[in-house]
Structure 1
Amino acid sequence: MNKIFLIISFLFFSGISHAQDSLVTAEPPKVASIKYTEKDIQVDSSTIEAKTFTKNFKKKYTGSDFVYEQKAPEKSLWQRFIEWLARIYRSLFKEQNAQTSVDFVTVFLRTIAVLIIVFVIYLIVKALINKEGQWIFGKNSNKRNIYYSDIEKNIHLLDFEKLIQESIQSGEKRIAVRYYYLWLLKVMAQNRYIEWDIEKTNSDYLYELQKPAHREEFTYLSYLYNYIWYGEFEINENSFIKAENRFKNAIKTFSNG
């Protein structure tokens, strides 16, 4: 039995050894060689355009499509001021939302700005009314005209009775009414009811009068004078006589105290 096993083992290893020798001694297959000639070589004769960059090529690539890093815009001084006020507001009122604080401060500042503008406009309009005496198209009831400024400056030296008679004779009833008004102011100043000043208005003189009866009478005569003089229209004889009588009575009243 052992002999048979030895014989079989010998034959098996001999076959393996023979196969390995056959692989070592076997020649590789032959590959057919390919030969190329000059006709097979192709030359590319097309023109190649050289690419160059212009000096200002960077300007072409400055659009938003070429911005790859977005930088946060710098805050202006006004924005910083608002944020500073918003922080104070949050600290005082314990506001947690920062944006709510900013919105509140913004609305508050805008409201203050509007109020300031309205106040400035009010002061301008008031100054214009006091200076020019008119609201858009209206005349000032308290403004004395520049006409006859020399007469106004010297009311204490003038003989108004004579001036009034001359005005009536020449048919200038409006000027006569004006002389009556200045005569009244002269008498009021002489008797210490008012302090005469060419820059003062009817309202200024009315404020200086103490007695209600005097205030009432001067209020009506001021209205009458303004209506006739600043109305810039001629009055008839009947209206002039009524105005004249009223001024004469007032002059007599203030003269007697």
Structure 2
Amino acid sequence: MTIFKIEWQNNKKNLLIWTCALVVIVTVFMSIFPSMENTGMNEMMTTKLETLPQNMLKAFHLNTGPSLVEPTGFFAYIFQYLFIAASIFSIMLGNKMLVKEETDGTIEFLYAQPISRKKIIFGKIVATLSMLVCFWSVTYLASVGVTLFFNDGILERKDILVSLTKVFGTEFFVLVFFLSVGFLLSSFLKQVNQGISMGLVFISYLLGIVGDLEDKFSYLKNISPIALANPAIILEEGWNMGLIVILIGASLLLFTGAMLIYQRKDLEV
């Protein structure tokens, strides 16, 4: 419990900032939705989008999922970009966990505690997972509340709740995957390097874009967690249990790998 409390104490401010930022951005963008009921805007969204090049529609994921004039469709469109930010937060959180004491020069304090390396990393994993659950739960509740508020009777409340639960439920496991990637990086890096973390997330996003734009590279979408968990795709196809199982398995392997590497790592005291 010592490691758990220390990590929460050290990261609570960062967690609060990221959570509040995401909630505020979701609220601001969803507040634009009522303007979609305007006749001209409605026509543009339902007919004029069809005149755009198909590659452009694919790049912005406007060719799948519910209509933008529906609250869930509009939410899915804006949230695909906010999910990139959430993924960055997740991988950055994991990336610093096992190396920050070396970077900050507080490694001696950590190892003054009567606990093994195995318990240290286990405590850090549990702490970061609980932070991720808190971050995602607050974002989910805020998103449901905001979407219901601006729905104005267009969809049934139950339909909105079911749709957003599918989106957040599937995407949570993508966040856990990126968290585990961050832990693996942290297990062998000598200092915190968040540039690598952000780069991996953007590479995953770009793989999905390339896979959508070029049919011969369509297989790239299948190795991009962000592309596979795109909100529009989830709303259209529902739960992807195969993807969830793969993400859970991959995350467990990465966490295990991080633990094994960290236990054998020469720490700079």
TM-score, length-normalised on structure 1? 0.23
Larger helix proportion of the pair: 2
Return the structure number with greater relative CO, CA threshold 8 A, min gap 6. Answer: 2
